[in-house]
A and B are shown apart, each in its own frame.
Chain A
Amino acid sequence: MIPLSDHSMLAKRVHDEESRQSFVNDFRVHLASQVFPGNFPTYYNRVLPQFIKDKGREPETRHEVRRVMTHDPYYSFWSAMQRNSQEMIWDSVIDSVERQLPELIEKSRKPGNKGSLTLDPDLETPKYHVAADIHLQPGAYHSDQIDDDVAAGAMYDWGTYIYSMGGLGTGNNALGQITYGFFKNEFPDAKPKRILDMGCTIGGSITYWAQQMPDAECHGLDVGAPVLRYGHARAEALGAAVHFSQQNAEHTNFEDESFDIVMSHILLHETSRTAIQNVFNESYRLLKPGGVMMHMDLPQAHGQPPLEGFLFEWEIYNNNEHFFAQLRDMDMPELCRKAGFKDENILPKSAGSFWMEDQTPYADDGFEFPITMAIK
């Protein structure tokens, strides 16, 4: 595994910690490139013929495929190994973070002063965030285990990188690179003065934006204090000016019409049916006239054949991504309309994909993230 680029907040790994992480990375590459593809012949040669024999027709929906595939021994074994690999990611990063936690906290207490950090200890963590630990990260992104905790952020930095099998890039910022490249392509002459990234966790994306646009005032918000503390110290270590604040994207304390860009990176599928509309309403409220909303998330079900639709949803049922099940079928332009955007200014797009660099098995599959874009 090619390691993340070092910075002063990154948890350092001793020999066996590095080796364990590399094993998990390589195991996941093997699962993705050698085991997962076997689900296709399993379906077409075994599961589908049996379905046709029983029902006299092919499955019409991904839900019908799920009911039969989840009982297939090949699929089940791949699925069980994939789940284990996700748990092993966190298990492989937790030791180095736990060992260095006092030192990381000390460092985070005296970051630079380019940006800022504003925490709100009274902020209520939304139910959709506390119900289960998203992505199986033990303790999730919001739990403080100790005063001034940064553990969740330190785990997230290595953990998401291993999750992506290096696809997030050694700067752990590929998602920010995608939205930044997309924005520059759509609006080559724009000079945004104030930018907000909702659900920023450790600020991988907004920190990248701040590095590219040092004259813009860049803000990142999240409900999780430990990821924000870490993100602030990380951004300062990288020399970027980002203003982090602990807020819920549904209702923020920023003024009306105060941002040129309001965006998010794979935040929406971690929310709820009520919250997602609130996030769009809040985005509309915060944008200046002519400002741009860009919410990047995972592909929806429209147009996916039943088998592909089913396989794409693995994380819903196996990686605590519960709301993604509903987001898959939601009408994103309708959310924009309800938020106040005019029809002609709602522009669903997609962007990708240097998310997957050449060290990942997905390098050539043309994966694209949909971006719900609207202009106020």
Chain B
Amino acid sequence: MPKDDQKKIKLPRTAKGKKPQYFADPTVDKLLSMVLTLMGELSVTRDRLDTVERLIESNGLFKVDDIEHYEIPDDVNAVRTERRSAYIARVLKTVQDELDSLQQKGDGKNTELED
């Protein structure tokens, strides 16, 4: 069995190196990153919904109307809260990237290029 400390590993999420600025106002760079992430997440959600609809149809498990009147149990609520939090972090990753880069050692330049 893996050790406890291995279960808590968090891999780095921001690549070291200077990130180019593409627009005159760096805020536009961040907004674009967020829009593209939202595009991706909406696509993921649509795929998931499609999977659910297909499973409903093939298994006859419940009626689509049941979804409208679903009462959220506490444990489900907790899972959704955690997922929403991760979702928000993913869309706002571009903001976190800036912070991570400030905290990384070195300036991200390849100093051997001058040799």
**A-to-B contact residues, CB < 8 Å:** 15-16, 19-20, 22-24, 27, 76-77, 79-81, 83-85, 87-88, 90-92, 94, 97-98, 101-103, 105-106, 126-128, 130-133, 136-140, 143, 145-146, 151, 155, 272-275, 317-318, 320, 322-323, 325-326
Q: How far is the CA of A94 from the CA of B12 in the complex (A)?
A: 9
**B-to-A contact residues, CB < 8 Å:** 2-3, 5-7, 9-20, 22-23, 29, 32-33, 36-37, 39-41, 43-44, 47-48, 51, 90, 93, 97, 106, 108-113, 115
Contact B112 A272 (CB under 8 A): yes
Known: A92-B40, A133-B17, A145-B9. 4 other contacts (CB 8 A): A76-B22, A77-B32, A91-B13, A138-B16
Q: Which of B7, B17, B18, B106 contacts A102 (CB 8 A)?
A: B7
Q: Which of B6, B44, B51 contacts A23 (CB 8 A)?
A: B44
User: Interface SS of chain A: helix, strand, loop or mixed?
Assistant: helix
- With contacts A16-B44, A23-B44, A81-B36 known, is A132 near B112, CB below 8 A? no
Contact B36 A131 (CB under 8 A): no
**Nearest CB of B to A243, in Å:** 28
Q: How far is the CA of A22 from the CA of B110 in the complex (A)?
A: 33
**Nearest CB of A to B21, in Å:** 9
Contact B93 A91 (CB under 8 A): yes
Q: How far is the CA of A98 from the CA of B12 in the complex (A)?
A: 10
Contact A94 B40 (CB under 8 A): no
**Nearest CB of B to A263, in Å:** 23
**Nearest CB of A to B49, in Å:** 11
